[in-house]
């Protein structure tokens, strides 16, 4: 058991209680300990009673105290008027006496005399004879027994009389006292203090008295060695309480998630790539075999730039190959889109709508540099869509993309990579179903099962780049390109528990500080 | 993506067997349909289909695919087209430069119920949107066949040469010109024709107006619940898309019980052709090519079975190892042999394809720029700063709030911003970090935040006209924040990056900062950043009630040139 810490005053009270060793009324204890009643109750008793293992307890009782009047105090000393009358008769050996004479001899206030006379008669201590003209009194019995009322008055010889502790027969006499205006009533709460079992046996020397404690271990205590005698006086902390919030540095949860995905790619042998955000329509759309009149290229989906407005196109070789592929399939054996391909449209400058633009730039170097295969690259970077920003939409977000370039790659391999990638990202169950993307064939959509939500979530797309995309870049059969990607915020919203997607980017600081990494 | 609603009852009837919601919920995805919503009570399923499959714009089209999936009906769906020698459409030479193509045909003996009328409207809308590019390339007119007489004439008229009553404004006789100006559809689609001197028009034999394509039909041929025979016209600028749209429409009508009668289009150049032409398109594909794309080793029979499940016909080709495939006329999403991989994979069922780990070894690495970014984040977090993650899009207005001059010539300007809040990209991090501080200004102090990220600088010499640079910006905000505190952070950062010996802060003056408490950051003769205590006027602009000390540093000097290469 750890050392108990109590106030000095409480220890003092505890010692008194142990000395007394019986239940005691609080007022009495107050006198014994010399403490003010209020101080005793609100400080010492309160502390002793509210310790984790209480040392004292108390019982409360409503009590009615009878306060004697001066008249009663006189009777307590000298007896009631009726007793005084009887005593007079006995002491003076009067067998019979007329009331007139009795009154004269008694030298008593007339009204008290008659009260006494009436009550003595009612108690059958005396009798009255009306045989003569003047009535006479004679003793009924030599030994007038104590009346109940007298027994009650006897009690007032002690300190206090309370109605509750009187025996039944005496309780009935209380009204008599009240009627004779010999007492007044006062009602209050009585608190009886008792030691608990623990309080009865606890070692009184085992306490640490508050006030002697030392707030902190100081350098002086360490250098002069005084910590030895003071170590037990060191302030004890409420270790179960939380401390104040730390003002600390912390990575943004998006960074933590992004790094997790990057690590997954790295572990699978992928190299990170980075490309321009301000991009040409050529790399963003044309090189991906996106027809020039495709709705996705329109203003309401893409941020076009007024400044800079025109990009330079890459080498004539690549541009011509792309042009021919659009118009009639080029050497890709495709029918193409027909119509005329415009280099002016391809020169438009925009904020890239997907990182695939960067992927294409990377792919265009493979044939050029005669790189050995496979080439495995990934990117995790910013992309833009011309959307109004609200709680569920962003105009810019992070996109994850992975690419494998190799010989005879096929749909099974794509499923293999997707299974491995999503497993490492924490999704064991996934469905890979047919889907459509303009620049892949075949295409797969990926739906994952999110354990924490118990729900399936559409996560991303994937596919094998169309020959119309790879041939102009010099990547030809049997070399194929697997690609998969997803919007990163989707993943983030699943694990970061925000209702408003904008919060990922405006970082409510309280949330940043409290959000666990997972 | 386009969507379509159908009831489970309707689909069961079309497919020809009892279907349950649970069954479709798990099966539709394997024919490339995505379930958007399910109304269990009314048995309604809402599906999303891909833009390359406009034949999925009707329950009839989906039922065709499902019948193949369940192997209830395989191979090409059969449609009968009767020739009707009376149905002739004469095309005037004048349409050549305006809207050159028209195809027409009739659907006879059709009794459409409410669901089918809704289907028709849905297809029409879907085709107008997906293939027609907003009626530009294809526009569809549906008419009551019995109200007009062939031969039909497709020609052009002067904007005010004729008057007729258009649909939706039945009470008025309007000229084409007036329709473009006053009619809601006229206003919506005027841009397609109003640059021409004459507008396209379809008359019947007696010069009654059938339609003013691609805008609106005349009321004469209004389709009602009493209509039993339908006349279709499709006009446009791309014959392939026009005929393809017609094929999707008529096959759906045929599935509804209508009988297709073809019409002969007599062109201005004298050529004649009957539409619809539902002859399947023939492709020759190499079995080994398809197999190697999917990772299978299917025999000819197996591959033929797969294709038949996708409602195509296929036969062993003349050349060994090839197949001849016949593609239904309501599908036209084939432009390369590779497109058949998806069909075979769908017929085989994507879920049966085994995931295989590719045995191509390679060594991965991070990009040097991201590596530097990671390193700087670590240093800043170690210094007790919270990382933030901000938009790259920002507002020109924010620069003004910061008293930083915004030069149109040296910034990226977005041509079509959705809002004023995002009309440029950041050239420095300070504006976005200050905005973030403003958003968080009532949070517990001290606030110490930073960001490491790309900024975009206009650069006429670069390929796309702009370059990216990695910057770091950090600020401290509390009752006793001041220059020294942020200077210590700058020292700690540069020391850890190993460039502290080259660091020099030169006193400067700048309205953003308090004079005497700001300087330019120089490293080896290059100005690479700025540091200082924000001027109270700027603090007021941002509604901040405590001082802010901040620095921003361009990190590109830390990396050798070769490591800064972008793809």
pLDDT (tens digit per residue) in A343-389 = 999 999 999 999 999 999 999 999 889 999 999 999 999 999 998 89
The topology under which CATH files domain B284-352 is Phenylalanyl-tRNA Synthetase; Chain B, domain 1 (3.30.56)
Give the range of the structural domain holding residue A380, as residue numbers without chain letter: 255-514
Which residues of B are less than 8 Å from A351 in CB distance? 414, 425
Mutate which: B237, B357, B415, vs A, most A CBs within 10 A: B415
Q: Whole-number mean pLDDT of chain B? A: 94
- Interface contact flag, A308 B458, Cβ < 8 Å: yes
Q: Which residue has the tokens 């394809």?
A: B353
Q: Is the pLDDT of residue B270 over 90?
A: no
Which tokens belong to B269?
A: 């150049």
CA distance B348 to chain A (A): 12
Q: Which residues contact B92 (CB under 8 A, 6 or more apart)?
A: B153, B154, B155, B156, B268
CATH of span B3-69: 3.30.56.10
**A 271-330 residues with CB < 8 A to B:** 271-280, 293, 295, 299-300, 303-312, 314, 329
- What confidence category does residue A2 fall into, taking pLDDT thresholds of 50, 70 and 90? low
Which residues of A are less than 8 Å from B29 in CB distance? 431, 433-434, 447
Closest residue to B358, CB basis, from A310, A387, A409: A409
Which string of b and e fits B201-220 if b means at least 16 CB within 10 Å?
bbbbeeeebbbbbbbbbbbb
Closest residue to B413, CB basis, from A306, A310, A444: A306
Q: Is A243 domain-assigned?
A: no
A446 touches chain B (CB under 8 A): no
Which of these ranges, A163-177, B127-141, B182-196, has the smallest mean pLDDT? A163-177
Q: Is A83 domain-assigned?
A: no
Q: What is the pLDDT of residues B442-485, one digit of tens each?
A: 999 999 999 999 999 999 999 999 999 999 999 999 999 999 99
* Contact (CB, 8 A) for B198 and B206: no
Beta carbon pairs, A and B, within 8 Å: 296
Mutate which: A279, A308, A315, vs B, most B CBs within 10 A: A308
Mutate which: B2, B289, B290, B293, vs A, most A CBs within 10 A: B293
The topology under which CATH files domain B368-564 is BirA Bifunctional Protein; domain 2 (3.30.930)
- Interface contact flag, A466 B338, Cβ < 8 Å: yes
* Contact (CB, 8 A) for A161 and A73: no
Q: What is the pLDDT of residues A59-101, one digit of tens each?
A: 888 888 888 888 888 888 888 888 888 888 888 887 788 888 8
DSSP character string of B473-509:
EEEEESTT--HHHHHHHHHHHHHHHT-GGGEEEEE--
How many domains are there within chain A? 1
Q: Residue B490's closest CA among B433, B525, B530? A: B530
- What confidence category does residue B486 fall into, taking pLDDT thresholds of 50, 70 and 90? very high
Q: Residue B229's closest CA among B348, B108, B361? A: B108
B292 touches chain A (CB under 8 A): yes
B356 touches chain A (CB under 8 A): yes
CATH of the domain at A396: 3.30.930.10
- Interface contact flag, B356 A293, Cβ < 8 Å: no
A270 touches chain B (CB under 8 A): yes
Residues paired with B475 in a beta bridge: B449, B550
For domain B81-275, the CATH class is alpha beta
Q: Is A247 domain-assigned?
A: no
Identical fold for domains B3-69 and B284-352, yes or no, is yes
- What confidence category does residue B395 fall into, taking pLDDT thresholds of 50, 70 and 90? very high
Q: Rounded to an integer, what distance in angstroms lies between the CA atom of residue B549 and that of residue A4?
A: 49
CA atoms within 13 A on the CB side of B97: 5
Q: Residue B381's closest CA among B467, B481, B489? A: B489
B424 touches chain A (CB under 8 A): no
Q: What is the pLDDT of residues B274-325, one digit of tens each?
A: 999 999 999 999 999 999 999 999 999 999 999 999 999 999 999 999 999 9
Q: Which residues contact A122 (CB under 8 A, 6 or more apart)?
A: none
Percent of chain B having pLDDT more than 70? 100
A376 touches chain B (CB under 8 A): yes
Please return the burial class of B301, using the count of CB atoms within 10 Å of its CB with bins 0-12, 13-18 and 19+. exposed
Percent of chain A having pLDDT more than 90? 46
Over residues B423-439, mean pLDDT = 96
Closest residue to B345, CB basis, from A255, A303, A442: A442
Which residues of B are less than 8 Å from A477 in CB distance? 289
Look at residue A142 in the predicted model and tell me its pLDDT: 66
Q: What is the pLDDT of residues A241-250, one digit of tens each?
A: 888 888 899 9
Sorted by where each begins, the domain ranges of chain B are 3-69, 81-275, 284-352, 368-564
Q: What is the pLDDT of residues A384-439, one digit of tens each?
A: 999 889 998 999 999 999 999 999 999 999 999 999 999 999 999 999 999 999 89
B446 touches chain A (CB under 8 A): yes
Residue B539 backbone phi and psi in degrees, to 5: -60, -45
Q: Is the pLDDT of residue B163 over 80?
A: yes
Over residues A313-318, mean pLDDT = 95
A412 touches chain B (CB under 8 A): yes
CA distance A322 to chain B (A): 16
User: Minimal Cα distance from B378: which residue of A?
Assistant: A251
User: Minimal Cα distance from A377: which residue of B?
Assistant: B364
Q: Is the pLDDT of residue B340 over 80?
A: yes
Q: Is A240 domain-assigned?
A: no
B282 touches chain A (CB under 8 A): no
* Contact (CB, 8 A) for B353 and B294: yes
Q: Is A294 domain-assigned?
A: yes
User: Minimal Cα distance from A259: which residue of B?
Assistant: B374
Over residues A164-181, mean pLDDT = 83
Closest residue to B360, CB basis, from A337, A406, A458: A406
Q: Is A234 domain-assigned?
A: no
Q: Is the pLDDT of residue A210 over 80?
A: no
B295 touches chain A (CB under 8 A): yes
- Interface contact flag, B353 A510, Cβ < 8 Å: no
B563 touches chain A (CB under 8 A): no
Q: Rounded to an integer, what distance in angstroms lies between the CA atom of residue B396 and that of residue B139?
A: 43
Q: Is the pLDDT of residue A43 over 90?
A: no
Distance of alpha carbon B139 from the chain centroid: 20
Collapsing DSSP states into helix, strand and coil, what is residue A155? helix
- Interface contact flag, B356 A412, Cβ < 8 Å: yes
CA distance A231 to chain B (A): 33
- What confidence category does residue A493 fall into, taking pLDDT thresholds of 50, 70 and 90? confident
Look at residue A161 in the predicted model and tell me its pLDDT: 83
């Amino acid at each position: 058991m750890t050392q108990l810490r109590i106030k000095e005053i409480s220890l003092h009270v505890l010692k008194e209680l142990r000395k007394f060793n019986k239940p005691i009324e609080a007022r009495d204890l107050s006198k014994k300990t010399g403490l003010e009643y209020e101080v005793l109750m609100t400080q010492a008793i309160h502390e002793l009673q509210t310790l984790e293992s209480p040392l004292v307890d108390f019982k409360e009782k409503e009590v009615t105290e009878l306060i004697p009047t001066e008249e009663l105090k006189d009777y307590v000393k000298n007896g009631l008027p009726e007793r005084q009358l009887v005593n007079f008769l006995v002491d003076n050996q009067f067998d019979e006496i007329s009331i007139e004479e009795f009154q004269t001899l008694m030298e008593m206030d007339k009204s008290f005399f008659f009260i006494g006379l009436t009550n003595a008669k009612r108690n059958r201590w005396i009798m009255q004879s009306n045989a003569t003209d003047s009535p006479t009194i004679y003793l009924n019995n030599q030994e007038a027994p104590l009346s109940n009322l007298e027994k009650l008055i006897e009690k007032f010889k002690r300190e206090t009389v309370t109605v509750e502790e009187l025996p039944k027969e005496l309780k009935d006499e209380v009204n008599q006292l009240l009627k004779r205006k010999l007492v007044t009533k006062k009602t209050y709460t009585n608190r009886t203090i008792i030691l608990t079992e623990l309080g009865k046996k606890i070692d009184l020397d085992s306490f640490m008295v508050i006030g002697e404690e030392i707030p902190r271990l100081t350098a002086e205590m360490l250098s002069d060695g005084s910590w030895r005698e003071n170590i037990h006086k060191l302030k004890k902390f409420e270790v179960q309480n939380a401390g104040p919030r730390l003002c600390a540095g912390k990575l943004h949860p998006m960074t933590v998630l992004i790094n997790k995905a990057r690590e997954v790619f790295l572990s699978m042998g992928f190299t990170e790539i980075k490309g321009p955000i301000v991009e040409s329509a050529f790399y963003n759309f044309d090189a991906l075999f996106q027809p020039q009149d495709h709705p996705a290229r329109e203003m309401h989906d893409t941020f076009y730039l007024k400044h800079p407005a025109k990009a330079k196109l890459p080498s004539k070789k690549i541009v011509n190959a792309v042009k021919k592929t659009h118009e009639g399939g080029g050497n890709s054996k495709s029918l193409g889109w027909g119509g005329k391909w415009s280099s002016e449209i391809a020169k438009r400058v925009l904020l890239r709508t997907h990182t695939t633009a960067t992927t294409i730039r990377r792919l265009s170097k493979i044939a050029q540099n005669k790189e050995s295969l496979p080439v495995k690259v990934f990117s995790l970077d910013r992309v833009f869509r011309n959307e109004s920003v609200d709680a569920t939409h962003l105009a810019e977000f992070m996109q994850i993309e992975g690419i494998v370039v190799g010989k005879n790659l096929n749909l099974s391999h794509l499923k293999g990579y997707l299974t491995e990638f999503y497993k490492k990202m924490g999704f064991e169950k996934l469905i890979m179903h047919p889907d459509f993307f303009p620049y892949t064939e075949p295409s797969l959509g990926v739906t994952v099962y999110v354990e924490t939500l118990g729900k399936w979530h559409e996560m991303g797309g994937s596919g094998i780049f169309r020959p119309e995309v790879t041939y102009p870049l010099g990547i030809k059969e049997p070399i194929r390109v697997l690609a998969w990607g997803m919007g990163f915020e989707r993943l983030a919203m699943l694990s970061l528990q925000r209702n408003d997607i904008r919060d990922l980017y405006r970082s409510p600081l309280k949330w940043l500080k409290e959000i666990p990494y997972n | 993506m386009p969507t379509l609603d159908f009831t489970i009852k309707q689909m069961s009837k079309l497919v020809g067997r009892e279907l349950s919601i649970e069954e479709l919920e798990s099966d539709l995805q394997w024919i490339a349909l995505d379930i958007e919503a399910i109304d269990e009570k009314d048995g309604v399923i809402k599906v999303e289909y891909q833009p390359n499959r406009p034949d999925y714009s009707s329950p009839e089209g989906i039922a065709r695919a499902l019948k193949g999936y369940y192997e209830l009906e395989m191979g090409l769906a059969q449609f009968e087209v009767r020739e009707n020698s009376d149905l002739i459409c004469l095309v005037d030479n004048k349409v050549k430069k305006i809207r050159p193509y028209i195809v027409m045909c009739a659907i006879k003996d059709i009794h459409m119920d409410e669901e089918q009328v809704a289907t028709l409207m849905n297809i029409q809308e879907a085709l107008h949107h997906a293939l027609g590019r907003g009626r530009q390339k294809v526009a569809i007119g549906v008419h009551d066949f019995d109200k007009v007489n062939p031969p039909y004439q497709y020609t052009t008229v002067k904007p005010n040469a004729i008057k007729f009553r258009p649909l939706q404004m039945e009470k008025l006789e309007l000229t084409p010109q007036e329709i473009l100006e006053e009619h809601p559809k006229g206003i919506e689609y005027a841009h397609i024709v109003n640059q021409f001197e004459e507008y396209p028009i379809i008359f019947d034999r007696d010069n009654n107006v059938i339609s003013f394509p691609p805008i609106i039909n005349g009321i004469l041929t209004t389709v009602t619940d009493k209509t039993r025979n339908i006349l279709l016209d499709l006009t446009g600028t791309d014959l392939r898309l026009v005929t393809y749209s017609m094929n999707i429409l008529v096959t759906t009508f045929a599935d509804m019980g209508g009988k297709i009668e073809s019409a002969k289009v007599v062109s201005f150049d004298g050529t004649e052709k009957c539409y619809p032409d539902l002859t399947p398109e023939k492709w020759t594909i190499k079995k080994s090519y398809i197999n190697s794309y999917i990772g299978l080793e299917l025999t000819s029979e197996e591959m033929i079975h797969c294709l038949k499940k996708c409602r195509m016909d296929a036969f062993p080709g003349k050349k060994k190892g090839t197949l001849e495939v016949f593609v239904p006329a309501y599908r036209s999403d084939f432009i390369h042999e590779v497109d058949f991989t998806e069909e075979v994979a769908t017929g085989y069922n994507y879920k049966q394809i085994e995931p295989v780990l590719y045995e191509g070894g390679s060594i991965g690495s991070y990009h040097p720029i991201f590596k530097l970014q990671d390193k700087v984040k670590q240093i800043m977090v170690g210094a007790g700063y919270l990382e933030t993650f901000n938009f790259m899009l920002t507002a020109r207005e924010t620069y003004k709030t910061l008293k930083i001059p915004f030069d149109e010539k040296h910034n990226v300007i977005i041509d079509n911003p959705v809002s004023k809040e995002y009309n440029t990209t950041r050239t420095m991090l300070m504006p976005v970090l200050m905005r973030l501080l403003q958003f968080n200004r009532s949070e517990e102090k001290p606030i110490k935040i930073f960001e490491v990220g790309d900024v975009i600088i206009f650069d006429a010499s670069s390929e796309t006209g702009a370059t990216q640079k990695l910057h770091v910006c950090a600020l401290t905000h509390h009752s006793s924040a001041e220059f020294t505190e942020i200077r210590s952070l700058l020292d700690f950062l540069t020391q850890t990056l190993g460039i502290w010996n080259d660091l020099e802060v030169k006193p400067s003056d700048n309205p953003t900062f308090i004079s005497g408490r700001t300087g330019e950051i120089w490293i080896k003769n290059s100005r690479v950043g700025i540091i200082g205590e924000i001027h109270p006027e700027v603090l007021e602009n941002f509604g901040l009630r405590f001082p802010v000390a901040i620095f921003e540093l361009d990190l590109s000097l830390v990396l050798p040139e070769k490591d800064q290469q972008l793809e």
